[in-house]
Structure 1
Amino acid sequence: MSLFITDECINCDVCEPECPNGAISQGEEIYVIDPDLCTECVGHFDTPQCVEVCPVDCIPKDPDNVESHDQLYAKYKVLVSAGN
């Protein structure tokens, strides 16, 4: 499943540059994660890098976008082949 950023986000700017898929961007008030681009870093790293660097622990799994490891890896392969 992809991740999402809760309203506890303090806009510290550390998560966006860590995302290898470019899934994180500044929203209207806080950073947001595009579920179509989020692979939880599957294919790139062992753990989601945004979660690793977040100082307020506000990036949980998104219950509205449930995906298995295999689905995340398949999405990673599509993104890499598309040049994202």
Structure 2
Amino acid sequence: MSPHVRVDRDRCVGAGNCVLTLPAVFDQDEDEGLVVILDPQPPADDAELVARAVQLCPSGAISVAAD
């Protein structure tokens, strides 16, 4: 089962740790530098990196739900 990634852009502080951890799933918009989800349901193989991105997010803006 692949994770379903969610972000709360209101909580995002634009640190970019998620982008550095998993650029295939996360990006930052050019206007505010806030997180953008490129792939809300990445492959199950990326689950460990998704979990790492959640841990590294200083604002707690990223969450994961199992589908």
Q: What TM-score do you get using the length of structure 1 for normalisation?
A: 0.53
Q: Please, which runs of 5 or more residues in structure 2 have no aligned partner?
A: none
Report the structure, 1 or 2, having the larger strand content.
Answer: 2
Instruction: Give the Å deviation of 1:12.
Output: 1.0
Please give the root-mean-square deviation of Cα atoms over the aligned residues, in Å: 2.7
> Cα gap change, 1:46/1:54 in structure 2, threshold over 3 Å: closer, same or farther?
closer
Quote the offset at 1:32 in angstroms: 0.9
What is aligned with 2:37? 33
Higher relative contact order (CA 8 A, sep 6+): 2
Percent identity among equivalent residues? 18
Larger Rg: 1
Q: What is the TM-score normalised by the length of structure 2? A: 0.63
Spell out, residue by residue over 1:27-84, the C-alpha distance to the aligned partner (whole angstroms, 9 max, x if none): 13211112xx23467313286221010111111348xxxx62xxxxxxxxxxxxxxxx
